[in-house]
Structures are given as C-alpha cells and as structure tokens.
C-alpha cells in the first residue's frame, strides 16, 4: 500500500509539488513567525522583569495598589523562611525596600524611586553590578548609593558627589540624608533610567526609620515557565489576609496586555495561513478523487474494500503533507538557529520605540522544540480534517456510476 | 453440467428525474460451468446493466442472482466486495489497469488483496503472463503496453485469483482487429484448456462468432438464447 501510494502521488508531479510547497511555506512562515514572536517577547519580558520587578513578588496585602510605607512586611518572617523547606521551583527570595524621595544636589531637585537592595543577592538577579558605567558596586550596610545614568545627568552629579535625599519615613517619621554617589548605572528602560537610586537594604531601612522591615520579596524562579504554578503554591502557603503574591501579569498590566494582543494577532495570522493550507490540501483531495473516480471504481469492483481504497487516498495525502512538513521544518531550522545566535538589532526609530516601552531594541528568535512541534501538529490536524473528505467520498461512491466512462 | 449462475426474475429499474427506465426486465437465465457466453444486443438493451448485476456491482430492483448456491442480492456492499474478490474476474472495456503498477504487479494486485503469500503471487502472475504471451513485458507499466496487451494483462489479472467465472464488458471495443483476434484466442484457449467460464457483453461480430452461446437482449429482456457450439 505504501509503495502504491508513493507511486500514485508522483503521477501528477506538478500538483504534488505545488501542494507540498504550499504546506512547506505555511509551516516555514508559521515556525518563523512564532519563533520570532516567542523569542522577542521572551527576551523583552525577561530583560524588563530581570532589570527590576522580577516575575513574581510577595508584598503586604494592599502594597501594590498603594505603594506606601503603611504596607511593610518583616524581613525575618518565619512564614517566608518556611517556604525554603517546601522544595518549590524557586532559586531564592530577594528582599527589597521600595519607596520614593526627593533628590537634590542643591541646584536641581527631582522625585526619584529609592530601592533598598541586598547587593550580594541582586548580583545574581538584576545584575546591577554589570550595569555600572562609572564607579563601583555597593557593599552591604554602607552609606552609599548608585544613581541611574539619566538621573545623574539631570542632577549633574558624578561618582564621589553627594546627594541629598528627603522623604517621609515609616509611621510619619521624617527622612533626610546626605549620601555619597558610589556608582552610575545605565538601565535598559529609559523610564527607570530617569529616576532610580539604589542603596543597600540596611541603609534604606535606616533612612526610612523602618529597621528589619521591607516592602517586598522578589521571587527568583528556577524556570519562568513555572510562574503560574509558583504563584499558586506560594498563595496556598502564605496567609492571604497578610500577604499578596503577584505575578508580572498583575504588576505590569500594560505590558501583559501588549503581550496578549500580540499573541492574539499571531494566532489569527497562523489561522489564515493554515486555512490556505487546508484548502490547498482539500483541492488536491478533490482533484485526486475526480480524476480517479473510474480507477477507484475498478479497484472496488475487483475486490478492494472501500476502507482500503480510502486508506490508500489518505496515505497519499498524508505523504504529501509529511513531505511539505519536513521540507518546512528543514527550511526553517537553519534560519531559526542563525537568528537565535545572531539576533536582529534595531536601530533608528524602531529602536527608540522599543526603548520607550522599556525594552531592549533586539529581535531574537526562540529555539524551542515545543512550538515547532505545535506547528507540525497543526498541519497534521488539518490533514486529518481534510482526509475526512476522500474517506467520505469513497464510502459514498456509487460503483456502477463510477465505472461509467 | 452444473449451473454456476442462475438469474431468477431479475429486474432492474432506474429512476431518474421522476422517470422509470426498465434496464433489465424479468430475466431468467442459467449459465453452466465452462460456458463461453456472449450477451449481445443493441445499445441500451441492458447488456452492461445485466453484467453489472451478475458481478454484484449493481443491485437489482427485484429477483435473485444465485452464484454457486449463494444469493448475492442478499449480500451487503462489503460482503459483495469480498465475494467478487474470491469468485469473479473482471475485464472492463479499457483503461482498467492500475497505471502505476507494472503488468506483473497488476496481476499480483488481486492476489495481494486476497492476502496470498508473495511466492504464490509471483508464481501465478508469471505463469499467467507467460500463458498470454506477455512474459517479456511483465515489468512494463500499462502506458508502455498497447491496448491489446493491456487487455491481455486485464484477462490475466481477472484469472489470477482463480475465479468461478470471468465477466468481460465489451473487451474488444477499443482494440484493432488483430489485437481483438489475439485477445479472443487467449480467452478461448483458457476457456477450453482450463474450463474457465467467460461471460462477455459485445457488439463485435468477431466475438459473437467465437461464442458458443449467444444471449440476445432487447429492451431489457431476453429476445433470443442460442447455443452455437
């Protein structure tokens, strides 16, 4: 049967080649489109999230909506420490102290975001130390700060200068301090680069008169794909009246909506491509049946059961689909591989647009087997749906009519 | 002689666009084993319909078709396919070989459907193609064979599963006189030497001359039934 099917598909070489080519191009474009989309979003999201918020955060309930010091949590809460023993897919919990202040160099003043960090833990997460363009990284407990590049430029300060910070501390205490600029960091997001000041956690706690208190735990995940699972597990183990566990979907709503809408657009595009493929295969199936009605009638007349005849036709279409599928994957994999290791870097206005959204102007491609397999399964599914037509037609074939020429 | 086919009050009426066409009208006929029978008659007399009914390709409106004791009108479509596979050989007018298979593979194909072992298929197909004088062309595809050669391969294919009888619908209709003569000689030889029952519809006087029984149809009923040899 395989041999007969194989020979049959080459009876009309041009038609087989056109059908297989249409499948090949659809698979090729779908894989490439999906690869670029997943890769770009993965990189953008990862770079945005790893530069600051992380994929998941734990706060005091209500903190995210208010962002005030009325919602602090203890740095040494046994409930959080107990999470370490649960074998969750988490690398570590990173404490943060986030608030606002006015920064002044005596000539200019600007509202800034002050972030108290654990210099050692952040090294492995945000890698702020790698973003230092001038000066040095922070040590635990020292009274020094890192200032983002655009903010430093605005305030006209450099490494070694001092900056006055003023704010309101915990429970209404006044907060004011003169801190030395130890380094300048360049953050990928222009929004953050305009207003960020980092200081050691203990310095922030001291500045805001809130010893042993923090605003949030950044949850460093082992695998970002397990984010939803981790949120669910953490929510189940923490008292919901005191804590809120939030994923970046809830914290960065606009970014998430952009992601979802882009995902939807790509699904529509793929559906259009696959519809074209589906109708292409369907057309081939119809032509096969119409051209060979007499021959199929002969086969049934001499003793071939209908199921065998339909299997033969299905096998022929299946072989054409497989050829298109393999060719599509074979064509796309080298391109995927190349762009995975050599991402496209945008320049000019496109680059500016990316930066405006806090994203790096880079378009990379994901090299993952799952979405390649998805495209293959989609084509297989379309083929199975289309195969229903020849099967149905053979079972409806009127033998005496088919044998009339 | 034993009766291999018995038609009892066989009627086939086609209904098209509200009109009824009686293609076969109350036919009663017995075919004995080893007969070489021609069914003749003018166009539209019901020859092909009768052959289709005999071969289980079409279902009668009423009546019975008893083949070797089995009333095939009672069989389901699937049972009929199996019945044809094991009991009836077919030779159609033309273009009835599978174009992508060689002559030998075409002959083997029916035996493959019968799940016969490869060695048996090889042996039988070689024997048959040699018997019909196509041993040299057994690896040729139908497109490389002449019309006459193709019909001879079709005869070999019809005989390959050792059927109870062979139905041939105007087998010489598209052949030149030499090829037609050659095909008839082969069919006659197989009938005589191997006692194979042949029933064929024809317009061709050459075929009629070779037939030992001629059943003449007119407007769907038997007008004449003559044993000539």
pLDDT at A179: 92
Q: How many helices (H) and strands (E) does chain A have?
A: 16, 14
pLDDT tens by residue, A209-257? 999 999 999 998 888 888 899 999 888 888 888 899 999 888 888 888 8
What are the boundaries of each domain within chain B?
3-227
Question: According to the model, what pLDDT value does residue A111 have?
Answer: 94
Residues A122 and A22 reside in one and the same domain? no
Chain-centroid distance, C-alpha B21:
24
∠ CA A138-A139-A141, rounded to 5°:
115
Q: Which is nearest to A83 in space by CA: A56, A64, A61, A65?
A: A56
> A51 pLDDT exceeds 80?
no
- Looking at residue A182, its pLDDT comes to 94
Backbone angles phi, psi at A76, to 5 degrees: -120, 65
Q: Quick one: pLDDT at residue B95?
A: 63
Cβ contacts (< 8 Å) between A299 and chain B: which residues? 98
Pull the structure tokens for residue A387.
Answer: 């195969």
Q: What is the mean pLDDT of chain A?
A: 86
Both A33 and A105 in a single domain? no
Query: A388 CB contacts (<8 Å, ≥6 apart)?
Result: none
Task: Tell me: do A200 and A297 sit in the same domain.
Answer: no
Per-residue pLDDT tens over the stretch A203-221: 999 999 999 999 999 998 8
Q: Which residue of chain B comes nearest to A294, CA vs CA? A: B96
Q: What is chain A's alpha carbon radius of gyration, rounded to the nearest angstrom?
A: 31
pLDDT value at A284 more than 70: yes
Q: Does B84 touch chain A (CB under 8 A)?
A: yes
Q: Do A310 and A194 share a structural domain?
A: no
Confidence class for position B104, pLDDT limits 50, 70, 90? very high
Task: Say if B82 is an interface residue toward chain A (CB within 8 Å).
Answer: yes
Q: Crossing angle for the helix pair A293-301 and A253-291, nearest 10 degrees?
A: 70
pLDDT at A176 over 80: yes
pLDDT at residue A7, as a whole number: 85
Helix axes A306-341, A369-396, angle to 10 degrees: 160
Collect all residues with Cβ–Cβ distance below 8 Å to A162 and sequence separation of at least 6: A178, A179, A180, A181
Q: What is the pLDDT of residues A333-390, one digit of tens each?
A: 898 888 888 888 888 888 877 766 656 677 778 888 888 888 888 888 888 888 888 8
In a mutational test of the B interface, the residue from A303, A311, A394, A401 whose CB has the highest number of chain B CBs within 10 Å is: A303
- What are the tokens at A357? 């959204």
pLDDT for res A118: 93
Identify whether residues A339 and A395 lie together within a single domain: yes
Nearest 5°: CA angle at B116, between B78 and B34? 75
pLDDT for B1 beyond 60 = no
Paired strand residues for B225: B215
Structure-token pair, residue B133: 């004088």
Q: Is residue A248 part of a domain?
A: no
pLDDT (0 to 100) of residue A355: 67
B10/chain A closest Cα distance in angstroms: 17
Whether residue A259 sits in one domain with residue A226: no
Q: Out of A190, A207, A239, pick the residue that ends a domain.
A: A239
A contact test, residue of B14, B81, B162, B164 with most A CBs within 10 A: B81
Q: Pick the range with the lowest mean pLDDT from B173-177, B192-196, B200-204.
A: B173-177
B218 forms bridges with which residues in the sheet? B221
pLDDT of residue A181: 95
Distance to chain A for B19, nearest Cα, Å: 18
Residue A306 within a domain: yes
Residue A244 lies in a domain: no
pLDDT (0 to 100) of residue A359: 65
Q: Is the CB of B112 inside 8 Å of chain A's CB atoms?
A: no
Domain count, chain A: 2
What's the CA gap between B64 and B6, in Å, rounded? 8
Range of the domain at A79: 62-239
State the DSSP H helix or E strand holding residue A217, giving kind and residue range, or none if neither: strand A216-221
Position B17 scores a pLDDT of 78
pLDDT of A201? 93
CA distance B128 to B135: 9
In order, the DSSP letters of B48-93 are HHHHHHHTTSS--SEEEEEETTEEGGGS-HHHHHHHHHHHEEEE-S
Q: What is the pLDDT of residues B52-74, one digit of tens each?
A: 898 888 899 999 999 888 898 89
* pLDDT score for B42: 87
End-to-end Cα separation, chain B, in angstroms: 15
What is the b/e burial string over A55-75, where b = at least 16 CB atoms within 10 angstroms of the residue's CB? bbbbbbbebbeeeebebbbeb
Chain A: residue whose CA lies nearest to B82: A303
Q: Mark yes or no for CB contact A303/B114 under 8 Å.
A: yes
Provide, rounded to the nearest whole percent, the portion of chain A with pLDDT above 70: 98
User: At residue A115, does pLDDT exceed 90?
Assistant: yes
What is the rounded CA–CA span in Å between residue B89 and residue B53?
A: 14
Q: How far apart are CA A125 and CA A227, in angstroms?
A: 16
Q: How far apart are CA A189 and CA A186, in angstroms?
A: 9
Tell whether A331 is covered by a domain.
yes
Average pLDDT over residues A47-62: 84
pLDDT band at B186 (very low <50, low <70, confident <90, very high): confident
Closest CA to A169 of A99, A240, A264, A117: A99
Alpha carbon separation from A313 to A5, A7, A187, A210, A405 (Å, rounded):
7, 12, 60, 76, 21
Q: Choose among B52, B92, B113: nearest Cβ to A303.
A: B113
Residue B177's pLDDT band (cuts 50, 70, 90):
confident
> Could you say which of B77, B85, B101 has the minimum Cβ distance to residue A303?
B85
On whether residue A156 sits in a domain, the answer given is yes
pLDDT reading at A77 higher than 60 = yes
| Mean pLDDT to the nearest integer, B197-216 | 85
pLDDT of residue A216: 92
Same domain (yes/no): A146, A29: no
Question: Residue A141 pLDDT more than 90?
Answer: no
- Judgement on whether residues A39 and A67 belong to the same structural domain of the protein: no
Higher-confidence residue of B62 and B170: namely B62
Residue A394 in any domain: the answer is yes
Partners of B98 on chain A (C-beta within 8 Å) are 4, 295, 298-299
Tens of pLDDT, residue by residue over A11-22, are 878 888 888 888
How far apart (Å, rounded) are the C-alpha atoms in residues B25 and B58?
15
A331 Cβ contact list (under 8 Å, min separation 6): A24, A28
* pLDDT confidence of residue B229: 64
Nearest CA to B78 out of A399, A311, A288, A314 is that of: A399
Euclidean distance between CA atoms A187 and A52, whole angstroms: 9
Q: Residue B219 pLDDT more than 80? A: yes
C-alpha–C-alpha distance, residues A65 and A67, integer Å: 6
Give the ipTM: 0.86
- How distant, in Å, are the alpha carbons of A52, A54, A55, A365 from that of A222? 17, 12, 11, 21
Domain boundaries B3-227, corresponding CATH code: 3.40.50.300
For A348, the token pair is 């000019």
Instruction: Note whether residue A55 is domain-resident.
Output: no
- The domain boundary, picked from A215, A239, A263, lies at A239
Q: Are residues A400 and B84, on separate chains, in Cβ contact within 8 Å?
A: no
Size of interface A-B (CB pairs under 8 A): 61
Tell me if A247 is assigned to some domain: no
Token match 């199921």: residue? A307
Q: What is the pLDDT of residues A305-346, one digit of tens each?
A: 999 998 888 888 888 888 988 999 999 989 888 888 888 888
Last residue of a domain, one of A239, A268, A289: A239
């Amino acid at each position: 049967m395989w041999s007969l099917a194989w020979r049959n598909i080459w009876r009309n070489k041009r038609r087989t080649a056109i059908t297989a080519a249409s499948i090949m191009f659809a698979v090729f474009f779908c894989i490439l489109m999906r690869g670029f989309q997943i890769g770009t979003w993965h990189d953008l999201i990862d770079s945005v999230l790893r530069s600051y918020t992380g994929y998941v955060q734990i706060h005091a309930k209500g903190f995210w909506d208010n962002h005030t010091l009325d919602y602090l949590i203890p740095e040494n809460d046994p409930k959080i420490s107990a999470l370490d023993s649960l074998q969750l897919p988490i690398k570590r919990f990173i404490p943060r102290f986030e608030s606002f202040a006015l920064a002044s160099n005596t000539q200019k003043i600007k509202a800034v975001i002050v972030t108290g960090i654990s210099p050692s833990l952040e090294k492995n997460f945000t890698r702020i130390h790698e973003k230092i363009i001038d000066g040095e990284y922070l040590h635990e407990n020292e009274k020094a700060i890192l200032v983002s590049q655009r903010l430093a430029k605005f305030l006209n300060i450099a490494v070694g200068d001092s900056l006055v910070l003023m704010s309101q501390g915990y429970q209404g205490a006044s907060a004011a301090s003169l801190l030395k600029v130890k380094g300048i960091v360049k953050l990928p997001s222009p929004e953050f680069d305009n207003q960020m000041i980092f200081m050691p956690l203990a310095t922030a706690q001291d500045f805001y008169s809130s010893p042993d208190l923090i605003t949030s735990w950044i949850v460093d995940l082992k695998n970002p794909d397990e984010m939803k699972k981790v949120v669910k597990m953490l929510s189940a183990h923490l008292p919901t009246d005191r804590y809120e566990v939030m994923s970046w979907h809830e914290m960065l709503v606009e970014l998430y909506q952009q992601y979802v809408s882009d995902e939807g657009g790509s699904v529509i595009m793929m559906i259009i491509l696959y519809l074209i493929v589906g109708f292409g295969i369907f057309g081939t199936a119809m032509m096969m049946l119409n051209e060979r009605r007499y021959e199929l009638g002969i086969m049934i007349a001499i003793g071939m059961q209908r199921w065998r005849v339909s299997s033969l036709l299905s096998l022929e279409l299946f072989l054409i689909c497989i050829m298109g599928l393999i060719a599509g994957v074979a064509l796309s994999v080298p391109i995927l591989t190349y762009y995975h290791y050599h991402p496209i870097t945008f320049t000019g206005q496109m680059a500016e647009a990316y930066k405006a959204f806090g994203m790096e102007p880079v378009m990379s491609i994901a090299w993952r087997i799952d979405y390649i397999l998805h495209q293959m399964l989609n084509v297989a599914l379309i083929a199975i749906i289309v195969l229903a037509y020849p099967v149905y037609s053979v079972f409806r074939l009127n033998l005496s009519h088919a044998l009339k020429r | 002689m034993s009766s291999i086919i018995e038609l009892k009050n066989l009627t086939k009426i086609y209904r098209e666009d509200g009109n009824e066409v009686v293609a076969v009208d109350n036919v009663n006929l017995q075919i004995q084993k080893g007969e070489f029978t021609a069914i003749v008659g003018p166009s539209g007399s019901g020859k092909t319909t009768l052959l289709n009914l005999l071969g289980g390709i079409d279902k009668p409106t009423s009546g019975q078709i008893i083949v070797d004791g089995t009333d095939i009108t009672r069989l389901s479509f699937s049972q009929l396919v199996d019945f044809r596979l094991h009991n009836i050989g077919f030779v159609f007018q033309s273009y009835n070989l599978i174009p992508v298979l060689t002559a030998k593979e075409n002959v083997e194909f029916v035996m493959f459907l019968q799940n016969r072992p490869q060695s048996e298929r090889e042996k039988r197909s070689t024997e048959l193609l040699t018997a019909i004088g196509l041993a040299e062309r057994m690896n040729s595809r139908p497109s490389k064979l002449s019309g006459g050669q193709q019909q001879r391969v079709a005869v070999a294919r019809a005989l390959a599963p050792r059927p109870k009888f062979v139905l041939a619908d105007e087998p010489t209709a598209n052949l030149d006189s030499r090829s037609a003569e050659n095909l008839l000689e082969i069919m006659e030889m197989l009938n005589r030497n191997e006692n194979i029952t042949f029933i064929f519809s024809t317009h061709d006087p050459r075929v009629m001359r070779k037939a030992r029984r001629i059943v003449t149809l007119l407007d769907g009923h038997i007008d004449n039934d003559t044993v000539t040899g």
